[in-house]
Amino acid sequence: MTQSSFVSTLGRTLAGGLIGGISLLALAAGAASAQDLSLAGKTIGVAVVGTQHFWDREAFKGATEEIEKLGGTVVPTDGGRDNQVHANNHDVFITRKVDAVITILGDASVDPKLKALKAAGIPVFTVDHLSPEAVNNTASDNYFTGSQIGILLAKAIGGKGKVAVFNAFSGSLQFCGVRYDLWKYVLEDFPEIEIIKPELAEVFANSPEDARKQTLALLEQHPKGTLDAIHVACWDQPAIGVVQAIEEAGRAGDVVVTAVDAGPETLEIIAEKDSPFVANIAQQPYLIGKTAAENVARHFAGEKLLSQTFVPVIPVDGPEEAKRVYKQLGYGTIN
């Protein structure tokens, strides 16, 4: 594929994805403007799987701060990144007789708790966790995220080469599966790109160091000229260790890295001169949490919500875009 073809495809995807994401956000918002919303007199439970990771922490902060801004009272719980603890934390919301619950992330272990909340007459709003028990799920546009990072990876390696992928969570977390599936779907349009088997599986705890060790082993198996890219399919903390391993092995000019999330730490790495980390997709976790809280208020105002609200993401292609997005999202300035 030529550079002009890449640019054309990129432009169409960017325009379609962003317009679509913004439209869905507006549709879910309904008629009431943000300044008309209120949660005065309402007590809202907010359960987050953990606050160790930047994304989780920002989504939690966005939800709780917006609830308080709208006059509501927050009952918070933190699962400490243990999915079962996170699930069990939902029991307190029935005991406290909250008016609604926002639950942020979690695996299938949380689903029976959401069913119990619904049975108790407590409306549930999820963040990045599709559930039939929820009034609404607020999430990034993961369809655009997966397809866009596929395009950016293909562009970075000239439409051909061998790619390794860290893909531990696509089977257990729906949004990870969407990102991976759409990424892979895009790469199918590039017959000269080969995804190396077996895929790699990162761990959550101390993921950068785990990914660094796995990447060093991978680089030994694939000497220079036999590996072109490494992608982290669901998030980007492992990519920190991937970059470290590539630089340790002297392969920075040989292997590029792509991932998803683009928090401040990884944007700083992309912004470095000659960084092997070349592309990412920036989510807006604070806005996602804030939007979930607004949707609770809309629900109590009698508005009909869509089952999903998609919050737009921002593609990051190279160091200059990393610097721009870093500033745009309020993280500061990278010189």
Beta strands 193-195 and 134-140 are unpaired
pTM to 2 decimal places: 0.84
- The CATH code of the domain at 3-16+142-283+316-328 is 3.40.50.2300
pLDDT band at 9 (very low <50, low <70, confident <90, very high): very low
CA 52 distance to own-chain centroid:
15
Range from 11-25, 29-43, 56-70, 71-85 carrying the lowest mean pLDDT: 11-25
- pLDDT digit string, tens, across residues 176-190: 999 999 999 999 999
Supply 83's token pair: 């999915």
Fold matches, 3-16+142-283+316-328 and 27-139+285-311: yes
Written out in words, the top-level CATH class of the domain with range 27-139+285-311 is: alpha beta
| Residue that is written with structure tokens 């890295």 in the block | 257
Of the candidates 319, 298, 324, 301, the residue with the CA atom closest to the CA atom of residue 309: 298
**The pLDDT of residue 35:** 72
Of the candidates 119, 102, 89, the residue with the CA atom closest to the CA atom of residue 299: 102
C-alpha span between 63 and 286 (Å, rounded): 8
User: In degrees, to the nearest 5, what angle opens at C-alpha 170 toward C-alphas 222 and 324?
Assistant: 75
Domain ranges of the chain: 3-16+142-283+316-328, 27-139+285-311
Supply 205's token pair: 């705890």
Amino acid at 24: L
Residues 6+ apart with CB under 8 A from 88: 113
DSSP state of 221: H
DSSP state of 200: B
- Between 105 and 19, name the one with better pLDDT: 105
- pLDDT digit string, tens, across residues 84-121: 999 999 999 999 999 999 999 999 999 999 999 999 99
DSSP state of 196: -
**The pLDDT of residue 204:** 86
Arithmetic mean of pLDDT over the chain: 91
